[in-house]
Amino acid sequence: MSTYLVPVDFSKTADHAAKYAARLSFAMTNAKIILLNAYYVSEYESILPTPDMLITTDDRIADEISNRLAALEKLKTKLLEINPQAEVEVYLTRDTILRSVIDRVNREEIELIIIGSNGKKAKDESDIGSNAIKISKSSPVPVLVVPPKADYQSIRKAVLACDFKKVKEVIPIRALKNILSKHALELLVLNIHSGDNIDQNEEHFLHDMLKDFSPAYHYSDHPDTIKGIVTFAKNEGAQLIIALPKKYSFFESLLHESVSQKLTIKSHVPVLLLKD
């Protein structure tokens, strides 16, 4: 079974990601989507009034839980209209979003976490969108970040962006092969630092590592790394960008919110953050 975990907070951003997950699940004969909502009330919130001078009483908490469960069921219905064959589970937790996601991943075999990314005009719309990078940093499974303008397309071509440096340490080959073996993808490997001297040993190692997938190799010397990747993906008609947020990788900078936000905002396709 292919299981997708989709954190939602009932924003347009999160709903868009959930619907993307439902369309993505069509490609799988046995798919499960978990809609996770985290309702965390801190100790301070339970004793201090809100800005509206309301106290978070047990009755208010119970009402909020009831409303959230109803909203989850409503979203579940929408997803089943998109893919009636999928299994959709609603899951409400009383912990923080980060802890809730990691706890669920540790208790069940999750193939992919799918998160909506906030756009330029909605930076504060979704708490989950603003926490996408924190979740990506902590998640032991791949995270797919869906930009607000990324409409679902059958994934036929993917761009793997790397810098041909410290390939053995940087490329999460097990996770990469797991993704590529499940999807018939045309893989385009983009060296985004082609102006630098390329270590021939590293290049040969990468070619050998990916030989089973027959990728095409491309080179870019665009002065703006993010723009170079996005432009290349668009020109090539790719439906996915694969990023490697790991030590030594140039994509390590993606773990800093400002850079990652640029990529997910500028990208017209989802960005897969892949780690071993």
Compute the chain's Rg from CA coordinates: 20
User: 8, exposed or middle or buried, with CB in 10 Å at 0-12, 13-18, 19+?
Assistant: buried
Mean pLDDT of 48-69: 75
- Model confidence over 213-268: pLDDT tens digits? 888 988 887 777 778 888 899 999 999 988 765 543 444 454 444 444 565 556 77
CATH ID of 2-146, from 3.30.1380.10, 3.90.1300.10, 3.90.950.20, 3.40.50.620: 3.40.50.620
Q: Report, as an integer, the average pLDDT of 59-77.
A: 93
pLDDT in tens, 188-206: 988 876 555 556 677 777 7
CA-based torsion, 182, 147, 190, 257: positive or negative: negative
What does the pLDDT look like over 147-166, one tens digit per residue?
887 888 888 899 988 776 66
Query: Do 21 and 79 touch, CB atoms closer than 8 A?
Result: yes
Residue ranges per structural domain of the chain = 2-146, 157-273
Kindly give the pairing relationship between strand 143-146 and strand 271-273.
antiparallel
Identify whether the C-beta of residue 150 lies closer than 8 Å to the C-beta of residue 270.
yes
Residue 273, beta-bridge partner list: 143, 243
Q: Same CATH fold, 157-273 and 2-146? A: yes
**C-beta of residue 1 within 8 angstroms of C-beta of residue 31:** yes
Q: Please determine, looking at this structure, whether the domain spanning 157-273 carries the CATH number 3.40.50.620.
A: yes
